[in-house]
Amino acid sequence: MRSSTIRAWSWVHKWTSLVCTLFLLMLCVTGLPLIFHDEIDAALNPAIWQPANPGGDHLTLDEILDTSLDNRPGEVPIFMSFDIDRPVVNVTTGPSADAPGTAMHFASFDLTSGALVPSADRGETVMEFLLQLHTDMFLGLSGMLFLGFMGFLFTIAIVSGVVLYAPFMRKLDFGTLRRKQSTRLKWLDYHNLLGIVTLAWALVVGLTGVINTLEQPIIDTWRTSELADLVAEYEGAVPAGQSASLASAVNEAVKLAPEMELQFVAFPGSGFSTSAHYAIFLHGNSPLTENIITPVLVHAGTGDVAGLREMPWYTKALSLSRPLHFGDYGGLALKLVWFALDLITIVVLVTGLYLWLARREPAKRRTESKTLLERTTA
């Protein structure tokens, strides 16, 4: 490789790394506890709640919906989700279907009685704070897109680092650490070794992070393009006083995909539906397909099934990237691997910053010495 080419790649690696390093450090540090979000929640909130009528008949989804709205007069339903391990239905309401997240109210209800399930929120405030900081720095879509750009720069930094690895390390055996030479050379060797060892993981986490920041544009594209033909004949909001049974709508959706399971329901006007439909999301029932979701649209006024539509490739990529980003595919063992690799990445980022500062210091001293000499001889 020509020296001019090496200099060009070195410039790319240096500046893409420097621009994103502080933000990547923030993401890595906040990501450490988020990897174990479920385990932390379970430790802080032991399972002491029991249903009112264990083994009893469940209320219908319509009854739960009515109960949730009675609990929040004047609000409308936005989302309904379902606990996996407990007979609990979670209902998100708000002053309007398109209310911002800060105006939404989340409540859980016992399927066997309709009673409110106590909020298990000890320590949750801290985890929610970390998640929000990790996701968008409390800046909404602009914060998400900014962090996505930082992730893009991180990817370029990784690629340029790989390009530079061979010419810089060609005279050394793999894994060589020059501990007896200068401190800077020693940390350069650590930086290169840890960087190349974590290469695949860093690329996966970086790229899935970028995909996750594009969630809102991806969902908006799906709604405006992929669903256009499905909802064309049902344009407009549901007429006042006209409402189809939610339970019946869910039953019809499940009939269309009996090999799938109910995940959540988005009500008309919400960010994951249209102005006139229940969007009933189903997911696969195997470890391989549980993160692939398929929506069924049912008109909220008439109960007519508009149709089932497979998610396009870009929404499938979004669904798969979320758990992969936090290592949620392989249980605790994979999370421990993710934790270790995250720590190593923090070391790579810190050593990269140190190497830049250490390289600037001699140049700074030379400049100061030259200036002093010029003043002395003037």
Q: Which of 231, 331, 322, 319 is nearest to 283 (CA)?
A: 319
Question: Do residues 144 and 31 both lie within one domain?
Answer: yes
Distance from C-alpha of 18 to C-alpha of 199, rounded to nearest angstrom: 18
Question: Do residues 113 and 53 both lie within one domain?
Answer: yes
Range 271-289 average pLDDT? 81
Specify if 316 maps to a domain: no
Q: What is the DSSP letter of 95?
A: S
Quote the number of domains for the chain: 3
Question: Do residues 145 and 202 both lie within one domain?
Answer: yes
Residue where a domain terminates, one of 120, 151, 170 = 120
Specify if 219 maps to a domain: no
Output the pLDDT for position 378: 46
Query: Is residue 269 within 8 Å of 312, Cβ to Cβ?
Result: no
Output the pLDDT for position 206: 92
Average pLDDT, the chain: 83
Specify if 220 maps to a domain: no
Distance from C-alpha of 353 to C-alpha of 345, rounded to nearest angstrom: 12
Specify if 324 maps to a domain: no
Chain center to CA of 249: 29
Considering just the CA atoms, what is the radius of gyration of the chain in Å?
A: 27
Specify if 148 maps to a domain: yes
Q: Which of 315, 316, 291, 325 is nearest to 208 (CA)?
A: 325
Distance from C-alpha of 24 to C-alpha of 11, rounded to nearest angstrom: 19
Any alpha helices (H) in 36-175, and if so which ranges? 37-44, 61-71, 124-136, 140-169
pTM for the model stands at 0.76
Range 39-59 average pLDDT? 81
Output the pLDDT for position 374: 44
Specify if 315 maps to a domain: no
Specify if 61 maps to a domain: yes
Question: Do residues 86 and 16 both lie within one domain?
Answer: no
Question: Do residues 32 and 143 both lie within one domain?
Answer: yes
Range 354-359 average pLDDT? 84
Question: Do residues 67 and 177 both lie within one domain?
Answer: no
Distance from C-alpha of 356 to C-alpha of 363, rounded to nearest angstrom: 11
Output the pLDDT for position 369: 44
User: Taking the chain, what is the end-to-end CA distance rounded to the nearest angstrom?
Assistant: 44
pLDDT of 94 over the 90 cut: yes
Question: Do residues 142 and 272 both lie within one domain?
Answer: no
Question: Do residues 54 and 36 both lie within one domain?
Answer: no
Q: Which of 103, 62, 70, 104 is nearest to 278 (CA)?
A: 62
Range 179-192 average pLDDT? 80
Output the pLDDT for position 342: 94
Tokens 């006024």 appear where?
A: 301
Question: Do residues 134 and 35 both lie within one domain?
Answer: yes
Query: Is residue 110 within 8 Å of 52, Cβ to Cβ?
Result: yes
Output the pLDDT for position 195: 86
Q: Write the CB contacts of 246 (distance below 8 Å, at least 6 apart in sequence).
A: 61, 62, 65, 80, 265, 278
Residue 284 gets the label, from left (phi > 0), alpha (psi -120 to 50) or beta, of beta
Q: What is the DSSP letter of 222?
A: I
Question: Three-state SS for 54?
Answer: coil
Specify if 317 maps to a domain: no
Question: Do residues 267 and 292 both lie within one domain?
Answer: yes
Residue where a domain terminates, one of 120, 154, 180 = 120
Question: Do residues 338 and 354 both lie within one domain?
Answer: yes
Output the pLDDT for position 194: 87
Helix%, strand%, coil% for the chain, nearest 5: 60, 10, 30
pLDDT of 91 over the 90 cut: yes
Look up residue 101 and give its two tokens: 């997240």
Which structural domain, as residue segments, surrounds residue 57?
A: 46-120
Distance from C-alpha of 129 to C-alpha of 310, rounded to nearest angstrom: 34
Chain center to CA of 254: 27
Q: Write the CB contacts of 68 (distance below 8 Å, at least 6 apart in sequence).
A: 77, 91, 93, 107, 109
Higher-confidence residue of 257 and 267: namely 267
Output the pLDDT for position 100: 85
